Chain A
Amino acid sequence: MQIQLGIATVLSPILSFVLIAAVGLRRPTVAKIISLTAATVSLVCASMLLLGVNDPAFKIQATWSWLMDDPSKFTIGLLLDPLSLVMLFVVSIISWLVQWYSLSYMEEDARQGKFFAFISLFCFAMMGFTIAPNLLQSFMCWELVGLGSYLLIGFWNHLPSAATAARKAFIVTRLGDVGFFIALLLAWTGLGTLDFGAMAGDAMSATWKAAIGGSDYGVWISIALFLAVAGKSAQFPLYAWLPDAMEGPTPVSALIHAATMVAAGVYLLARMSFVLVLGSEAAIMAWHGLAVIAMITALMSGAVAIVQSDIKRVFAYSTISQLGYMIVGIGTGAVAAGMMHLFTHAFFKALLFLTAGAFIHAAHSNSITDIARAGGAKLKLPMMALFVGSMALMGFFPFAGFYSKDAILEHLFVEGDWILFGMALLGVFITAYYTSRVIYLMLKVPAEPHQGHGDEHGHGHGLHLGSWMKLPLGFLAFASLVAGNVWLWKAHNWFVIPEAEHGNAALITALVSTAIAAAGAFYSARVFYWRTSADPMASMTGFATLLREKWYLDDAYWAIVHNFYLPITAFLQKVETIIVKGALDGIGTVSMTFARGFARAQTGEVQHYLGMSFVVVAAVVLILMSR
């Protein structure tokens, strides 16, 4: 029964994609009905699956052989365990809400059919990745996710910026996918299997333990996978594609940031965390190194978010930062905490993006100040949603982010990892600072000398909220409030708790982090609301410029491309021109020369032909006679 439900969950989006491609591309209503129906089927099935399971050791795996008759070689199938069930639920509910929301957001677009088809494909890819029982199927669906993000980010491909952003996302994540491929080959050659269960060793047998830990395959597979995760989940140094991905439609941004694209990397880490559990000292070192990189990424991107004026970009950099937290959690061994943060973050980040989309849809601008000027603060529901989402993002009690972020902090505290703990607290401060900044800027409408007050008032009434946007915003606001408790009620005991709780560690970290978040929000209020402190980023010198230029990361990319890649391609182009093209031209020239020479024999005069045939006949006869 569970297997059928799982199949129905995964296959309904791809069925929807095929159906829309067949009949719905020019009929928006049909496309919407098909897409929403499929998403509903997925959501219902995934919910039934999730609610029907209570046993932490629950595990069902069904595989079918593929490519070869030997079923032990390459298989496709589905693996249902707590991890994949939670992820499946997150993906299906976020994609359902996003599609519902898109009914309003995309109502003026001429190519809605295509949009819903792409969304369906994207969801199928992510669900297929989620339930993959082996690395090969993971890899295929991973690439499909990349394709889906490419199609959706570049959906408005008549805009050069969107096309460039889609290309950038595709190419940068592809760099990481090289790592995935290497990991795949290492696992195949070193362990002889790609199946997660077999790799982890169902019985935790000594041979598997030796295979993973002893020969250090775990380390190399981990390092190769980290590259893939850095690409997909936007970690340093491959995160630059994510802010540019804001060129896509806002529902797509919500989907990418909450559930599908960037979550894939974190999910993959959680899937492979048996390496951390079983692995050698070196493997644990490698994962800890990944956690450090993720923490640095979180701080860097959070700092960049401070100076962004585009509302979607603030949230984009915030996503990179929060992904960093998740990876810190998983990398230091707190898989449950990392997945919990993924779970709660999915809801409040989707909420924030959909809210941003509502503002953008109403005000036709991405700039925070423009939205504020247009009277964005008068939109009641989005402002409420923005407030709830921001509170959750900052990590205030009792919102969802509080539970999950504190789980990670508490783990660092208990482990005694003071450096990471300190950096994480700094990250909490930065998060609170840039998140509350958005709210203050929305509330504190800047003076507008050209417009009278009444005119502005009229503007505010002119803004309207799409009719299909209310349900997703309301539901997600509610979910942002309760997701942490839902997790604690339903999923907490599903995951291995690596450490026993240490007395009052939970209380200490909760108090400290709340105090620091409040300090960040308060300082931000002094700067942006009461304007009693000067904006530390207002100056155009030093650190502020560094942030404004996004740590010069894009320039570094460009320098690498310009100084290394382009010379290589220029050289290869010369090789192509001189050797390959020269060889082909040579073949052509030689045959043309021969052809011209032989063509001269064709004089067109019948007597020459006759003479030649006489000579040939004579020669043949002579040869035959001499034998």
Chain B
Amino acid sequence: MSLSAYLILSAVLFLFGAFGMMERRNMVGLLISIELMLNAASINFMAFNHFLYPGTVTGQIMTLFVIGLAAAEATLFLAIVFAVYRHYRSINVERVDHLRG
């Protein structure tokens, strides 16, 4: 398979994630979309590493970092969701609009 196939796949996943980010009301839906986008980034790292710099490990290590980051971020997100829930009694992002001008 060529590099373009991987890149297109990751772009499609990224766009799905972007769509979800803008469409979901529930904050958990947002988190799922973020994970999708991170996943797309991981695929890109792996593909570039394999096709352009074979024999090195930089891309793979970046992917490891992404995975670790996603785990940490999910935990952080959990804390934020709790805080928002306690304040607004809801995790609907449309309700969280204190910055309205």
Contact = CB atoms under 8 A, between A and B. Distances in A.
Q: Do chains A and B touch in the complex (CB under 8 A)?
A: yes
B100 A602 contact: yes
Contacts of B76: none
B88 to A, nearest CB: 13
B70 interface: no
Interface residues of A, number: 13
A610 B101 contact: no
Contacts of A601: 101
A610 B22 contact: yes
Contacts of B89: none
A604 B95 CA distance: 9
Contacts of A500: none
A406 to B, nearest CB: 89
A604 B22 contact: no
A604 B88 CA distance: 15
Given A600-B101, A602-B99, A602-B101, A607 B93 contact: yes
B97 to A, nearest CB: 3
Given A610-B21, A610-B22, A605 B101 contact: no
Interface in B1-28: 18, 21-23
Contacts of A611: 22
B101 A599 contact: yes
B87 interface: no
A603 interface: yes
A598 interface: yes
A603 B97 contact: yes
Given A611-B22, A614-B18, A606 B96 contact: yes
B86 interface: no
B93 A605 contact: yes
A300 to B, nearest CB: 73
Interface string A585-627: 0000000000000111111111100110010000000000000
B22 A605 contact: no
A605 B18 contact: no
Nearest to A611: B22
A604 B18 contact: no
Contacts of B98: 604
A599 B101 CA distance: 5
Number of chain B interface residues as a range: 10 to 19
A602 to B, nearest CB: 3
A601 B22 CA distance: 16
Interface string A90-127: 00000000000000000000000000000000000000
Nearest to B25: A607
A411 B99 CA distance: 91
Nearest to B93: A606
B99 A604 contact: yes
A612 to B, nearest CB: 10
Contact of B101 (A604, A606, A607, A614): A604
B100 to A, nearest CB: 3
B22 A607 contact: yes
Interface in B58-101: 93-94, 96-101
A607 B21 contact: yes
A613 to B, nearest CB: 11
B97 A605 contact: yes
Nearest to A609: B99
A605 B21 CA distance: 12
A606 B93 CA distance: 7
Nearest to B100: A604
A459 B93 CA distance: 94
Given A610-B22, A611-B22, A603 B93 contact: no
A598 B96 CA distance: 20
A611 B22 CA distance: 7
Interface in A174-196: none
Contacts of A604: 96-101
A602 B97 CA distance: 9
A97 to B, nearest CB: 75
A601 to B, nearest CB: 7
Nearest to A607: B22
A598 to B, nearest CB: 7
A625 to B, nearest CB: 15
A605 B22 CA distance: 10
Contacts of B101: 598-604
A307 B44 CA distance: 110
A407 B99 CA distance: 90
A621 to B, nearest CB: 13
Nearest to B18: A614
Nearest to B96: A606
Nearest to A596: B101
Contacts of B96: 604-606
Nearest to B94: A605
A187 B93 CA distance: 80
Nearest to A601: B101
A603 B96 CA distance: 10
Contacts of A614: 18, 22
Contact of A603 (B18, B21, B22, B100): B100
Contacts of A605: 93-94, 96-97, 100
Contacts of A598: 101
B12 to A, nearest CB: 16
A482 B33 CA distance: 111
Contacts of B99: 602, 604
A232 B94 CA distance: 78
10 contacts: A598-B101, A600-B101, A604-B97, A604-B99, A605-B96, A606-B96, A607-B23, A607-B93, A610-B21, A610-B22
Counting from the closest, the 8 A-B pairs by CB-CB distance are A602-B101, A604-B97, A599-B101, A604-B100, A604-B99, A607-B22, A611-B22, A605-B97
Given A604-B99, A605-B96, 20 more contacts: A599-B101, A600-B101, A601-B101, A602-B99, A602-B100, A603-B100, A603-B101, A604-B96, A604-B97, A605-B94, A605-B97, A606-B93, A606-B96, A607-B22, A607-B23, A607-B93, A610-B21, A610-B22, A614-B18, A614-B22
